[in-house]
Amino acid sequence: MAHVLDEFISQPASDTEVFYKRPLPDSCIAFSSKEGKTIFEEALLSGHMESYFKLASQFRTQDEPAFCGLSTLVMVLNALEIDPGKVWRRPWRWYHESMLNCCVPIAVMEKEGITMDQFIFMAENNCLETRLTYVDETASLEAFRAVIQKYTKQDESVITLSYSRSVLSQTGDGHFSPVGGYHPSRDLVLILDTARFKYPPYWLPVSLLFEAMQAKDNLTGKYQKFILYVT
């Protein structure tokens, strides 16, 4: 079952309707806005942007509207400097979405995205150790925040999340993104959203993100999850 079709879902664009990005909802603060820059500076000084630099070095736009899972994984693999052991463009070994076809043909992923199971399978098949946590109705906001707080202060591991865009008042629904940083006193988290043709990177409240992760996925009927990668 596809999980990451979000760029097509809940925005029944006609065949002729096209967009130049979407307005970022008020719940989100754009990374490059004046306020976003202030938040970044304060977060940096707080020590919770340690996780930012490796990921920012590999921040990318997903090559296809359904590739949020694939592109998030490519970001993580290149940020954590995993050598794929195979050539992308001669003479370079490097990760690209087109090389993550170990369980589903790329043409199928272009149409249907990937499931969380496929996401994890591909990560582990490419030398990443993963720790999966479901955010269901028994989950604790405090425990979630503690993970965000802990892992934004280091750069050996990366947190990726799946969440419901609709809870954030964004168009679409189930979506994958890496976490870029944290602002402690305002309790904001930085999302490095790979659908950059739609939304820029943004800060949003941890509590709202938590809510967006508690929403069941429309397609799979499952709870959202977050994954911690450890090399």
Check 173, 175, 183, 217 and give the catalytic one: 175
Q: Alpha-carbon distance 36 to 184, whole Å?
A: 14
End-to-end CA distance of the chain: 28
Of 33, 89, 25, 53, nearest to 178 (Cα)?
53
**Residue 183 annotated to the active site:** no
Helices 141-151/206-214 angle, 10° precision: 120
Q: How far is the CB of 9 from its own copies (least distance, A)?
A: 12
Residue among 65 and 103 whose Cβ is closer to its own copies: 65
Q: How far is the CB of 143 from its own copies (least distance, A)?
A: 28
Q: How far is the CB of 216 from its own copies (least distance, A)?
A: 26
**Residue 175 annotated to the active site:** yes
Strand positions, DSSP E, 61-156: 87-89, 92-93, 129-134
Q: How far is the CB of 140 from its own copies (least distance, A)?
A: 31
* Chain centroid offset of residue 221 CA: 20
Residue among 17 and 137 whose Cβ is closer to its own copies: 17
Residue among 8 and 121 whose Cβ is closer to its own copies: 8
Residue among 28 and 135 whose Cβ is closer to its own copies: 28
* Chain centroid offset of residue 199 CA: 12
**Which residues neighbour 69 within 8 Å (Cβ) at sequence distance 6 or greater?**
3, 4, 113, 114, 118, 119, 176
Check 68, 173, 183, 217 and give the catalytic one: 68
**Residue 68 annotated to the active site:** yes
Q: Alpha-carbon distance 173 to 112, whole Å?
A: 14
Q: How far is the CB of 147 from its own copies (least distance, A)?
A: 22
- Specify whether the CB–CB gap between 214 and 148 falls below 8 A: no
Residues at the interface with its own copies (CB under 8 A): 7, 11, 13, 17-21, 31-32, 36-37, 40-41, 44-45, 50, 53-54, 56-61, 64-65, 78, 81, 83, 87-94, 155, 196-198, 200-201
Check 6, 28, 48, 193 and give the catalytic one: 193
Q: Are strands 157-164 and 225-230 parallel, antiparallel or unpaired?
A: antiparallel
Backbone angles phi, psi at 123, to 5 degrees: -65, -50
Residue among 56 and 103 whose Cβ is closer to its own copies: 56
Tell me the catalytic residues.
Answer: 68, 175, 193
